[in-house]
Amino acid sequence: AVEIIDIPDTETLGLYAVLGMYDFVNKLTAPDNESAARFSMELGVVAGVHVTTMAAIPVARLEDSLNQEQTWREQPRPENPDLDENINGH
């Protein structure tokens, strides 16, 4: 079923039988989440199965993103009396 699904710039990297909550895992690459979702929907229709889509990112990219966010949070923010008053509950 995977071979007949044609979503631009989306490629199947592997199909794995797994133990546990899921029976199979289809690993693919796609340019965006919308393309991955479309692939999943078409696979569900063609194969007649329930599909769960899980986006994944490399842990290193997640760590970089979290480090950048932490740096951003540590920057001094401009004073805003209205905002500060709402945050402090006054």
Per-residue pLDDT of the chain (90 residues; tens, 9 = 90+): 677 788 889 999 999 999 999 999 999 999 999 999 999 999 889 888 888 888 888 899 888 888 887 666 666 666 766 665 655 555
Q: What pTM did the predictor assign?
A: 0.59
Whole-angstrom CA distances from 80 to 75, 77, 84 are: 15, 9, 6
What's the CA gap between 18 and 5, in Å, rounded? 22
